[in-house]
Amino acid sequence: MKAMIQKDLRENLKLALIGLLIFSLLLLQAYQTCISTLTNMLTGNSSGQIGALQPLLATGLLTGTAFFCAIFGTALGWLQTRNEAHRDLWAFLIHRPVTRTEIFWGKTIAGLCLYAFGAGLPLAVLVAVVRTPGYVAAPFEWAMVVPPALIFFTGIAYYFAGLLTGLRQARWYASRCFGLGLAIATSFGVVASTVFWIPTVLIAVAVLILAAAAWGAYQSGGFYRGQPVAGRLALTVALTAGCGVALFASVGLLVNLVLGPLTHHPYVWSYYQMTRDGTIYKETNRDGNTEYADLDGHPLLDPKTGQKMEPKEFSKRIAYGRGVLSTLKYRNRDQYQYSIQNASGFFSLWNITDKTLWYLDRHGKLLGYDGQTRKFIGSLDPHGNDGKLASEPFLQRADSNYYNAYGDVPQKIIATAKTVYQVDFKERTLKPVFTLTNDEIGGYDEEEASYEDNHAAKNFLITTRKTVCLMDYDGRPIFALPYKPGYFEYPQVEISFLQLTNSSMNNFAVWFLPDYLMNKAAGWKLPEHILWIAPAQTVTKSADLPVLRLDEESSWPDKLATALLPPPVHVEFDDKIYKSWNLLSYTLALVCSVIGWTLARRYNFSTTASIGWTLFIFLLGIAGLLTFMCVQEWPVREICTNCKKFRAVDRESCEHCEAPFSPPEKNGTEIFEPLAKV
Amino acid sequence: MAVTFNINTGSNTPIYKQITDQVRLGVASGRLAVGDQLPSVRALAEDLVVNPNTVARAYADLISEGLLESRAGRGVFITQKRKIYSRAEGWRRLEPMLNALIGEAMILDFTRDELREAFEEKLSKWKHQKGGDGKNE
Amino acid sequence: MNNESVIQTRNLTKYFGGKAAVYELNLDVPRGCVFAFLGRNGSGKTTTIRMLMGMVPPTRGTGTILGHDIRALTPEVRARIGYLTEEHQLYGWMNVKQCGEFQSKFFAKWNGRIFRGVAGHFGLKPEARVKDLSRGERAGLCLALTLAPEPELLMLDDPGLGLDPVARRGLVESMIFLTRKSDRTIFFSSHHLSDVERTADYIAVFDRSILRACCPLEKFQESVQQVRLRFPGTPPALPKIPGLLQAVRTENELRVTCVHYNGEAETALRALSPVEMESVPLGLEDAFISYLGERGEKTFILSEMEAQS
């Protein structure tokens, strides 16, 4: 085994070195991108994902890593077997006094070492660099290593898929690489997951299955027949995923590229807008055309021209707004999210002042980094800036994944669950503005300042368990309302800043917006609730508007695409789209399983195997049938000389009449003599 | 060894037969005398690059003919030459060679007398070797 | 134990697609012999060897090698078999010495003297890279790797393929040398009949995926015979002759090559009342070519050919 490992290490070292070089350059380039994002943000004229400030969380870097690990893993695995796929070299390899399992492990250990060398080493260096003060002006914690690590481990699934592809003997050449399907599916699963354990389990399962399938392929030289049960099972699962992915991709392409354009389905989206006089209009986007109408459905006309209102003109009339999402509902849960696409699970960029970046990390600490030296300069909390005292965590603001250089003027306030503070970043001090005694802050946000008309922020919106309140920076309420309906069903509160005119006497309008999922569960019965507030803090008017939803009517290609999905999907997701054509789905599954059953009977599968495969195909539909056909080797059939029926050539005797195969026909030139021992 | 074996592959004659023929010729021509030792099976096989079983088979044929004898542990030796063929059998073996000789002579335009003369001369050279004392050849 | 067949197959069959590459093969190879496996290209020799070595699963039928099922060869059995593949493939980046070292780590019994000896016999330098070796040198290296573990059964798939006459002689010498150990069996396929003639005890002849002959070498050579019949004029049409391989008709001669030339065939030929009739033995190569060449009657009578055209 040691010799095997050494040989494979030496044989594929070149590839690993090339991989190492490419990946190092790729990471270096992604790192440089992160640094230039930082530089641009510091100069105040660039917006960007805050994840870009910490390379370990940067989307670009992670995407690059994901692609590299997938390609490198596949290439390594594939070449490691491809090198020896020449049948004589394969024979040279296999014909030695060791088991094939040992050969498999020898190769695999060498391959994984090389993978770790090519893909793992640059990542490890990156982590070391990121941790070193003076390189990255963003918080670091070990949990941030998890996303790149998960991507790295996903590459191992690709490695085994590559091994499998290199070895697999199949009638359909394309189906040799179907093992990659499971790895690709895993990649998507990893990217989409929001909790740590799901991708871990996904990767572990995928690696286990693909490793078992590759091991099985080593046992049989790439055939399904002659493998141990575990290998056959793993191969079947892996190919099922492959067929699923292939089917999914081809149906997706068909629908989007061919059927989609043929059956154009207009894209309609509408929502409410409020103008500064407090009137609500319905804005409708239809294939890029925007229309405005009042709530009675009359189109809105431009008073100057008498024509339909243009978006440019309308946007001048829209009221400034600000929204606050109450996080009370989730406060006691761990909000910690590992989603690779979401850096805000770790920290948000609170502010940039004087070349200093202030982050609010997920533990509620305000951390300062010098943008030029890229070093940590200290943390800020209610008890001073030494950061040593345990203090109450600061609350996150909503949607803090993106830094907007033009919209987000320096924040002045920050809040814990009980107290709102005004921050002086220059002096690095906090001044309490407002403290709650018998209540808890749900969310808060400041009025939007605008450079355009020199409008400075004067107040902030705050929601607690009981109230919704607009306050100035001295802690004086401008108005306060009971939080009704409550934050549980209506977590989102928005405020529109209105202008007092002769016809409109209202200062503000407050929107209570229902939670999407809860509203969906309630059958879309929760309306949007709006209150208009006059300067005297009195509610002058209220309205309930039905929520506007996306038109969920799907076109027939979409329905067809869902109908190709196997029955369990239709049972699991009882959305309208899945329901519409699910009879077709069941029919297709049934037809496929009948075909499967016929095939199984024709090729003399045992009754158990026939039933098993038929059931399998019924559950997985077309993908199941494809898998069945890919995974098995189908023997030729020829006519039995005895009973004249077709019989499979891989049986010792005819399945119909039990007659053995006839010996070769004699032609009178045979020379046979018993051979004695010499 | 007084006889150099020479093997032709691709010939009509199987290898074992080529070996037996050459031993017989050696004995007949006097190059091999009674008591002479032949190389061992293994040595001859490796020398000629042929399968030892082939050599062994040739030796076995000659031993059963009485031309050779195997002395345990010492090797294979030429034995007292015994008359091994009947007169008729002898003629049967001789005839093709005579035919070939005469045919070739006719093609080459030798007269009958020339042929007779040459034949006599050759015979006279072979005469005194009849006793088997021809090692000086 | 010593008397069992080292290779035994029963109805061994392999299909590639719809075509049988090996059909219902029954073979018994006794221990200690040199067994030559002959046949034209594509007649199923390599497939058979690959099946016997467990590289290709048979479509049906069974086989044993050294008494073990060919579908599940254990490392212990493999250690006892030396297998030389057809194209002498090795790892190009290794040098001769590294090849030996790599191989030696897998075999409990590894005779370095044999390895160096055979490699030296083919003029291989230890530092020479495999990818720089000539075909013959590579064959020599493969042979050295195959022989060094001192296997009791050698499976050589066309070991002479692509070798020059000198290298081939080296190969034959090695094979002869190997028979020193009397219970060692050599099973090899070849197209070089002179090598076969020198080395083989037994031969098996494959004709388009079917085993046609399996007998001692001389038996084969003796069984294929040519009879020449001379006629005063154009030879008469040929009657049905059992075991007929080929018949060639010329102006006044009829040459008939057949298997098992016996009383029946002789009577049939005598009935043609030829002027002269003699039977001629054939060399192995001619016998083999007649055996596997085109069957039937050929005419070289110009007048008839002209008449036909």
- Chains touching C (at least 3 CB pairs under 8 A) are A, B
Residues C143, C139: Cα–Cα separation, whole Å: 6
Give A671's contacts in chain C (Cβ within 8 Å): 205, 212-215, 219-220, 223, 259-260
Return phi, psi of residue A332, to 5°. Answer: -85, -5
Contact across the interface for C11 and A651, Cβ inside 8 Å: no
C194, closest residue in chain B (CA to CA): B9
CA distance A384 to A212: 57
Give me the mean pLDDT over the C251-261 stretch: 87
Chain A hits for C91, CB-CB cut-off 8 Å, are: 7, 11, 89
3-state secondary structure of C85: coil
Q: Report the relative pairing of strands C34-39 and C202-207 from DSSP bridges.
A: parallel
| The predicted structure's pLDDT at residue C59 | 92
pLDDT at B133: 41
**What was the pLDDT predicted at A387?**
47
Query: How big is chain C, counted in residues?
Result: 309
CB contact under 8 A, A664 and C18: no
Q: Is the CB of C290 inside 8 Å of chain B's CB atoms?
A: no
Give the tens place of pLDDT for each residue, A32-67: 999 998 888 888 777 777 888 899 988 889 999 999
Instruction: Give the start-end residues of each E strand in A257-401.
Output: 268-274, 280-286, 289-294, 320-325, 347-353, 356-361, 366-370, 376-380
Residues of C in contact with B53 (CB under 8 A): 33-34, 179, 201
What pLDDT was estimated at residue C66? 94
Interchain CB contact of B16 with C (< 8 Å): yes
* Stretch (H or E) spanning A423: strand A419-424
Residue A420's DSSP bridge partners are A415, A434
Q: Which helix (H) or strand (E) holds A126?
A: helix A121-131
**How many CB pairs below 8 A link A and C?**
139
**Backbone CA torsion sign across A302, A304, A306, A312:** negative
Give the neighbours of chain A: at least 3 Cβ pairs within 8 Å: C
> What are B98-108's pLDDT values in tens digits?
888 888 888 88
Residues of C in contact with B15 (CB under 8 A): 197-198
Task: Supply the pLDDT for residue A87.
Answer: 82
Task: Give yes or no for residue C31 having a pLDDT over 60.
Answer: yes
Smallest CA–CA distance from B96 into chain C, residue:
C278
Distance CA A137, CA A134 (A): 7
β-pair partners for A445: A461
pLDDT at A488 > cutoff 60? yes
Side by side, the strands of the sheet bearing C5-16 are C19-30, C5-16, C60-65, C68-69
Q: Do B49 and C172 touch (CB under 8 A)?
A: yes
d(CA C278, nearest CA chain B) in Å: 12
Q: Does B37 touch chain C (CB under 8 A)?
A: no
Q: Rounded to whole angstroms, how far apart are CA atoms A648 and A646?
A: 7
B46 interfacial to chain C (CB closer than 8 Å): yes
Q: Please state, as a whole number, how many other Cβ atoms lie within 10 Å of the Cβ of residue A164.
A: 34
User: Binning pLDDT at 50, 70 and 90, where does residue C181 land?
Assistant: confident
Q: Does B99 touch chain C (CB under 8 A)?
A: no
- Which residues lie below 8 Å from residue A560, measured CB to CB, with a gap of 6+? A255, A259, A581, A584
Q: What is the mean pLDDT of residues A84-95?
A: 88
Distance from CA of A378 to the nearest CA of C (A): 57
- Which of B9, B13, B53 is facing C194, going by the closest CB pair? B9
**Cα A421 from Cα A409, distance rounded (Å):** 17
Judged on CB neighbours under 10 Å (0-12, 13-18, 19+), A13 is: middle
Find the mean pLDDT for residues A76-92.
Answer: 89
- Find the residue in B nearest to C225 (Cα): B12
Q: Which residues pair with A511 in a beta bridge?
A: A494, A530
The Cα of C84 is separated from the nearest Cα of chain A by a number of Å equal to 8
Q: Is residue C177 less than 8 Å (CB to CB) from chain B?
A: yes
pLDDT band for position C233 (cuts 50, 70, 90): confident
Residues of A in contact with C109 (CB under 8 A): none
> With bands split at pLDDT 50, 70 and 90, how would you rate the model's confidence at A410?
low
**What pLDDT score was predicted for residue B135?**
38
pLDDT confidence tier of residue A417, bands split at 50, 70 and 90? confident
Strand partners, A429: A424
Report pLDDT for B137: 33
Query: How many Å apart are CA B76 and CA B72, to the nearest integer?
Result: 9
Distance of CA C164 to the CA centre of its chain: 18
User: In C, which residues are within 8 Å of A10 by CB distance?
Assistant: 93
pLDDT, position C305: 64
Burial class (CB in 10 A: 0-12, 13-18, 19+), A99: middle
Answer whether B14 sits within 8 Å of C172, measured CB to CB: no
Residue B80 is given by DSSP the state -
Q: How far is A601 from chain C (nearest CA, A)?
A: 19
Collapsing DSSP to helix, strand or coil, B89 comes out as helix
Secondary element (H or E) of residue B53: helix B52-65
Q: What are the two backbone dihedrals, phi and then psi, of residue C245, each rounded to the nearest 5 degrees?
A: -105, -55
- Measured CA to CA, the distance from residue A274 to residue A493 in angstroms comes to 15
Query: Which of A267-270's residues contact partners 24+ apart within 8 Å by CB, and which partners?
Result: A268/A550, A268/A551, A269/A550, A269/A551, A270/A548
* Token representation of residue B44: 């001859």
For residue A49, the cross-strand partners are A402
Answer whether A668 sits within 8 Å of C259, measured CB to CB: yes
Contacts of B9 in chain C (CB under 8 A): 193-194, 197-198, 284
- d(C-alpha C62, C-alpha C65), whole Å: 10
Interchain CB distance below 8 Å, A650 and C78: no
Check: CB of residue C86 under 8 Å from CB of residue C158. Answer: yes
Task: Convert the pLDDT of each residue in A22-35 to its tens digit.
Answer: 999 999 999 999 99
Is a pLDDT exceeding 80 seen at residue C68? yes
Which residue in A651, A669, A676 is closest to C243 by CB distance?
A669
Residues 6+ apart with CB under 8 A from A19: A68, A72, A75, A76, A118, A119
CA distances from B119 to B107, B113, B123, B127, C292 (A): 17, 10, 6, 12, 45
In tens, the pLDDT along A339-390 reads 666 777 788 888 787 788 888 887 788 889 998 899 998 887 766 555 444 4
DSSP at A299: B
Return the number of CB contacts < 8 Å for B and C: 52
Q: Which amino acid is at A609?
A: A
* Cβ–Cβ < 8 Å for A140, A125: no
Pairing of strands C210-216, A671-672: parallel
**Chain A hits for C15, Cβ within 8 Å:** 635-636, 649-650
ipTM of the complex, rounded to two decimals: 0.90
pLDDT in tens, A183-233: 999 999 888 877 778 889 999 999 999 999 999 999 988 888 888 999 999
Q: Please report which helix (H) or strand (E) contains residue A542, including its range.
A: strand A539-545
Low-confidence ranges of chain B (pLDDT < 70): 1-2, 80-85, 126-137
CA distance B106 to B94: 19
Helices (H) and strands (E) in chain C, counts: 11, 15
Write down how long chain A is.
Answer: 678
- Asked if omega into A311 is within 30° of 0 (cis), the reply is no
What pLDDT sits at residue A507?
86
Of B11, B46, B51, the CB nearest to C34: B51
Q: Do C89 and A650 touch (CB under 8 A)?
A: no
d(CA C22, CA C31): 23
Q: Which residue has the tokens 């929502």?
A: A271
Q: Cβ(A507)–Cβ(A535) under 8 Å?
A: yes
Are the C-beta atoms of A178 and A246 separated by less than 8 Å? Answer: yes
Chain C hits for A101, CB-CB cut-off 8 Å, are none
pLDDT at residue number C304 = 64
Pick among A95, A661, A672 to test the C interface (most C CBs inside 10 A): A95
Q: Are A621 and A585 in contact (CB under 8 A)?
A: yes
Across all residues in chain A, what is the average pLDDT?
Answer: 85
Average pLDDT of the segment spanning A89-118: 94
Say yes or no: A646 contacts chain C, CB-CB below 8 A. no
Structure tokens at C126: 């230890």
Burial of B137 per CB tally in 10 Å (0-12, 13-18, 19+): exposed
Q: Which residues of A touch C28 (CB under 8 A)?
A: 675
Identify the pLDDT of residue C2: 46
Give the Cα separation of C70 and C65 in Å (integer).
6
Tokens standing for residue A363: 């533990």
